[in-house]
Structure 1
Amino acid sequence: MGEEFLFPLSFQQARLWFLHQLDPGNAAYHMPVTLRLDGELSMETLRAAFQHVVDQHEALRTRFEPDTQVQAVLESWAVTPELVDLSGLDPEARRRELDRVRLGVLREPFDLWSAPPLRVVVVRLEPRVHVLLIVIHHIVCDGWSLGVLAAELSAAYTALRGGRAPELPDLPVQYGDFALWQRERLSGEALREELDHWSRVLTGAPAALELATDRPRPDVPTFDGARVVRALPEPVALGLERLAHGCGASLFMAVLAAYAVVLCRLSGQDAVIVGTVTAGRSRPELEGLVGCFIDVVPLRVDVPAGLSWAGLLSRVRTVCLEAYAHQEVPFERLVEHLQPVRDLSRTPIFQVMLNGQDTPRQDLSWPGVEVTGEPPEPGVSKYDLTLDLHRNTSGMLLDLEYNRDVFEPATASGLLGQVAAVLDLMAAAAPDTPVEAALTGLRPATGHRDGFSGRRIEPPAPGSRPGEGSRVPPDDAVEARVLRCVRDVLGKEWLGVTDDFFDHGGSSMLAMKLALDIEQATGYRLVLRDLFDDTTARGLAVKVRAATATYELGGH
């Protein structure tokens, strides 16, 4: 593999690094691509084409250090697609085995510390029919990157089959350069001003979306997801675009307005925070790179009584434009700054997403091979609800991913139907039509609700000062070691063993760092639940003692 070159993690990577440390077997951040290949496939050409792409992008030959936030770019790394031959099986057995192989390829954990997290498997169904399975960990890739990879793989395969050397685009920078630039750019006064902006925007908004659920929310989410879809015809899409453009807004903003109206009405709340993905490629030299640039921004939509569609669209337009202007702040830094009420069962700040699927699409063409993309694997939902908007020549497609921990299929389908119904009414409405006219029959849903009702996001608490801690000293060496970790992570030497980690500046990201530090100091790895049950040094020390079952660390 040759020499290694070290770079800091980007802010996006740091969160995924911590999550992998705490739950290395979780496949929620695996990014799968499935392509059906019909024709005369050359495995050697495919291997060589992949190698050219890996050589092109440092992110695809990067491993990570387990003990420090550093990525190591390998000078070279050989990618070897695995061939699984199912052509000798009967059709039914072949189908079952393909499903088993596909699930295994998707869910097999990556060892981020020893090798780049890229897996390539080719399944042969018949001599001229193959399925290409590609899985990449999100820490080195995002949705935009998959398009870059697909285009360059196609170009390399085509050139090699024609006896030519592939000519891939020149890259002026690599992902490590971006990580260095981001760390320098988002620090000091510039970062503080951006965080202050988001504090002003989000303070006073509901701390959580209180949709009634079909079953109680589990203490720890499983990310078990499924999807429902709804198509809207071209006349509806054109009507929405006409209404939106007349208000200086976009189709995405119109869908956000309808989504917010439905969510507010069903939850009984006057505002909702909806997350949306940003590409994170604000500089042109980043557009051709494979890497994890994607981030999310919160869109706070207030829906007071008496608004017209024009009034609501004007509000939504302002919200979106301001969010786009301040999108460079890493979401995890925002969470650390706001310190929202901690709750392991849901994502902080927002629990629903809306994404406009405008990632550049790539038309794949390989010599002698017809390439067909297959739908993504279901089964993963990082949020309660994620609505994807697709605009196509026949109209619009609404694709709702929902969390099966809390919602039944019928509930998710009904909610999507309500969004579609409001969009249908919007498309035919005049700008001055009251929003209330579209809400006939929409009432707050019944079901399970939990203890977040009425809570609001509060301004960031002022930092603790020396002397504000309890100063209760440790009773034994176990408490001393845990307290040492707490003080180091928070940078506050005056804390005692009964001071709450989160009350003194702790966050979910810092809690994950604390878990790793405690493991190094005591040999015991805290699970996620431990970090939220009793977050004093004394409480965490109790868990360490219970796990070790001896007082070995305390010298007894």
Structure 2
Amino acid sequence: METVDRIDETAREMWERTLGCDVADDTNFFEFGGDSISAILLMSEINAALGTSLSPHELFDAPDFGAFRELLQAHTGAATETLQEEAAVPAGTSVTSLFQQRWFGLSKEQLGNVDVFFEVTGPLDHALFGTALDHLCRRHAVLRSVYEPGDPPLQRTVEDFRPRPRIQDLQGLAEAEVQTAVHAAVERSVRFFDLESEVPFELELLTLSPTEHLIVGHLHHIAVDGWSIALLIDDLERVYHALERGEDPATLEPAPQYADFAVRQRAYAAGSGIEEAREHWRSVFAGVGGPTQLRATVPPSGAPGESSAYVNLLLAPERADAVRAYAAAGRVTVYNVLLSAFARLLAEVSGTDDLLIGTSTAGRQGGDDDRRIGVFITPMPLRLSLAGADTPERLHALVSERMRDFARHRMYPMADLLESVEPFKGKQLADLFALHFIYQNQPQPSTGNGRTYRQLDFQDAGLERPHALPRPHSRVLRQLEAVVFDRLDGALSLNFAFDPSRFDETEVRGWLDAFGAEVDRLVHHTPTTRG
């Protein structure tokens, strides 16, 4: 359950961000620069973050932060109590979030494994490492849970779960033997979890020398997203260092629990505040004909989507740096630049300039959510009407506007589109979009206490399959999925995962080359300053 301190912290952060000043209990919203428009935006953000359904008019009744804080606490407590009563959650379990519920369903189709592949430089004791993993899982209930079917599914913490990492000492072996062992560890991570009976947490430690190690393994998206992997590694080091000093990790600051977010999101979905988001998305998707499709280039030969294939293109560090410099000069993100280039490519290939594709959005609300291990990333349909975006600046502005939409409604569950918003009503989740764009920032190396952790790409270990792409023989959910991520050497890895029963690899390779060319065309355009 959300604590009073968490509610106060969240509200204060949002007030300070809106007003641009420090906020005390006697700070009057309207005397410090707030107006009716900013009140509407603030209430929308708070309702999304805390699962409340406050009206902007209530801010006029309680304009001082202290009075507003008391009002907010009352509303938040009522929403949480109502949700818990309706859910009738058995002891030892908690409700799953809507994001987890989606992944629980997809796990039945053997989807959702998350690769873990880190290089550790520095001393690492095998026994302490195993003990640190044990404490890590105790600190984060989501890392030691299984899941029970239901509506909603429930998360059950396995109190006696103990991770048992496979530890291999490869020191002194020939290079070929080391590579064989590393490849075997990576391939073991292809195994899928049964989330009803198995805690989805398997890691291995491979020691190459006294100061060179690899952490290899896999988890599941029902428990973590990409951001969470970096949090997990940071907390693992925090726990390990405490053990190294002879201290009890139980004395460390408690970790925020994902179950609190799940309750908050369920309260939001059950409250009246979700209707505002529905109306917004109804207006965004009004008149769109349906998901953008690409013409199949392979004659039908059976059931599609039974295996995946991919093609890869590397933008060398100098080309990648040019993309970053262009984005910085134009005051947009690298994600914006890459998505803009992908949209231009799709408009050319599909023959339509009113695109409906998918992308991944973040549901974290700031504050404790930025330290909370769990799944917050969810795919959402994205509409980009390129008819009025006839210059790079206008296209980037359109993409930025859509990203602000996602930020304002980040708690909104994709599944609600199937019940409430055209043209998605009555469809399946897999039918929301056929084309998907993902950009994964490579986490910065985590350094401290004489150790450095760097997330590796599988290609860094001589494996053919790039990190984060569909696993061999895994089912394809989309016709085409663009996955772009930063490599440690500064390059950008551009990848198209596709359904080989629908598209010829030579054709997809041509599209990928055209995508790279679109990126270059944008980069060589001289941007003007954009807001």
Q: 1:414 to 1:162 in 2, by over 3 A?
A: farther
- Does residue 149 of structure 2 align to residue 62 of structure 1? no
SS of equivalent to 2:437? strand
Identity percentage of aligned residues: 23
| Equivalent position amino acid for 1:375 in 2 | D
Q: 419-428 or 119-128: which moved more?
A: 119-128
Structure 2 residue 351 is the aligned partner of structure 1 residue 268: yes
2:163 to 79, 104, 108: 79
Deviations 1:361-417 (A, max 9, x none): 3424564x6654321445436544443455799976252241252445544443233
State the one-letter code of the partner of 1:202.
Answer: F
What amino acid maps onto 1:373 in structure 2? Q
Distance 1:192 1:223 in 2: 39
Q: Is the contact made by 2:357 and 2:436 (CA closer than 8 Å) also made in structure 1? A: yes
Task: Report the equivalent of 2:117.
Answer: 34
1:295 positional shift: 1.4
Contact 1:141–1:292 (CA under 8 A) maintained in structure 2: yes
Deviation at 1:60, TM superposition (A): 0.8
Question: In 2 relative to 1, CA 4–143 (structure 1 residues): closer, same or farther, beyond 3 Å?
Answer: farther
Residue 35 of structure 1, CA deviation: 2.5
Tell me the TM-score normalised to structure 2 length. 0.69
Kindly state the Cα deviation for residue 431 of structure 1 after the two structures are TM-superposed: 6.0
Is 1:103 the counterpart of 2:187 in the alignment?
yes
Q: Give, in angstroms, the shift of residue 81 of structure 1.
A: 1.1
Paired residue type of 2:492: L
The residue matched to 2:431 in structure 1 has which SS?
Answer: coil
Q: Helix, strand or coil: the match of 1:347? A: helix
Partners of 1:361 and 1:305 lie apart in 2 by 37
Taking the aligned partners of 1:113 and 1:145, their CA distance within structure 2 comes to 22
Paired residues of 1:175 and 1:289 also in contact (CA < 8 A): yes
Cα distance in 1 for partners of 2:232, 2:389 equals 49
Would the aligned equivalents of 1:234 and 1:394 in 2 still touch at CA under 8 Å? no
Distance of 1:416 and 1:167 partners within structure 2: 50
Superposition CA RMSD, Å: 3.5
Q: Deviations over 1:95-123 (max 9, x none)?
A: 3454234212x122323223421112234
Q: Which residue of 2 aligns with 1:427?
A: 523
Alpha carbons of structure 1 residues 154 and 229: separation in structure 2 relative to 1, 3 Å: farther
Query: How far did residue 323 of structure 1 move?
Result: 3.1
1:334 aligns with one of 417, 420, 424: 417
Q: In structure 1, what is the equivalent of residue 51 of structure 2?
A: none
Asked if 1:323 is matched to 2:419, the reply is no
2:77 alignment counterpart:
none
Give the SS at the match of 1:139.
Answer: coil
- After TM superposition, list the pairs within 5 Å mapping 1:78-227 onto structure 2: 78-84=162-168, 91-92=175-176, 94-104=178-188, 106-123=189-206, 130-166=213-249, 170-171=253-254, 173-216=256-299, 219-222=303-306, 224-227=308-311
Corresponding residue for residue 498 of structure 1? none
Q: CA deviation at 1:84?
A: 4.6
2:498 to 379, 386, 403: 403
Q: Which segment is superposed worse, 195-204 or 138-147?
A: 195-204
Partner of 1:354: 437
Is residue 173–residue 285 contact of structure 1 (8 Å, CA) maintained in 2? Answer: yes
Q: How has the CA–CA distance of structure 1 residues 126 and 4 changed in structure 2, closer, same or farther, with 3 Å as cutoff?
A: farther
Structure in which a larger fraction of residues adopt helix: 2
Q: How far has the Cα of 1:306 moved from its partner?
A: 8.2
Alignment of 1:259 onto 2:342: yes
Aligned to 2:396: 313
Three-state SS of the structure 2 residue aligned to 1:264 is helix
Specify whether residues 86 and 363 from structure 1 end up closer, same or farther in structure 2 by C-alpha distance, changes over 3 A only: closer
1:280 to 350, 363, 386: 363
Shift in Å, 1:90: 5.8
Question: Which runs of 5 or more residues in structure 2 are unaligned?
Answer: 1-89, 459-466
Q: Alpha-carbon deviations, 1:261-315, whole Å to 9, x = none?
A: 1101111112212322222111412111111122123221112278233333333
Larger Rg computed on CA atoms = 1
Runs of 4+ residues deviating >6 angstroms: 86-89, 341-344, 391-396
SS of residue matched to 1:53: helix
Q: Say which is worse superposed, 414-423 or 55-64, in terms of deviation.
A: 414-423
| C-alpha spacing 1:162/1:213, structure 2 compared with 1 (3 Å) | farther
Alignment TM-score, normalising by the size of structure 1: 0.66
Cα deviations by residue, 1:156-188 (Å, 9 ceiling, x for unpaired): 223323434448863474111211111111224
Offset at residue 94 of structure 1 (A): 5.0
Shift of 1:83: 2.8
Query: What secondary structure, in the 3-state scheme, does the structure 1 residue paired with 2:277 have?
Result: helix
